[in-house]
Amino acid sequence: MVSLNFPQHYEFDIRVIDDKDYIFDRLRRKHVRLTPEEWVRQHLIEYLIQDLGYPAGRTAIETGFTHEGNLHRADVIVHDRQGEPVLMAECKAPDVKLNQNAFDQISRYNTSVEANCLILTNGLTHYCYVLDRVERTYRFLEQLPRYEEL
């Protein structure tokens, strides 16, 4: 797998099963198929938990939600102590350009999830922005926030 724009100190349990690579997902507590997007997702999860203080117990992967009558899955959703979503992340494979379509996708999904902080990453480039629902504006952050900053 390609080297990503995350700290390089994470250790992953990668196994070959039936000639396919699998990576252990600590949150789902099982090995999942190692795709380029999953490689990005696992790095983001480790970065959030190990380096930015996000609680593993409040972090969910591939969470299902309904948007406009259709079931969708969010790559990562982090909740506060009351169980409300505070952060949602969309992960793309490293070879996928982060364009307006990707921003539109996470923004559409967020009309249902209602997180205040959104992350869009392909592992090489990360965008993070926070929403001001009263002013109906958003502002990009220079770096991903620590959990206590949300």
38-60 b/e with 16+ CB inside 10 Å = b? bbbbbbbbbbbbeeeebeeebbb
Question: Has this prediction a pTM greater than 0.85?
Answer: yes
Domain presence at residue 28: no
Kindly state whether residue 6 falls inside one of the protein's structural domains: no
Is 32 inside a domain boundary?
no
Average pLDDT, the chain: 94
Does 47 reside within a domain?
no
Answer yes or no: is pLDDT of 22 > 90: yes
Domain count, the chain: 1
The domain in which residue 98 lies consists of: 54-149
For residue 53, what pLDDT band results from cuts at 50, 70 and 90?
very high
Cα distance between residue 46 and residue 21, in whole Å: 19
The confidence score (pLDDT) of residue 39 equals 98
What CATH number is given to the structural domain containing 86?
3.90.1570.20
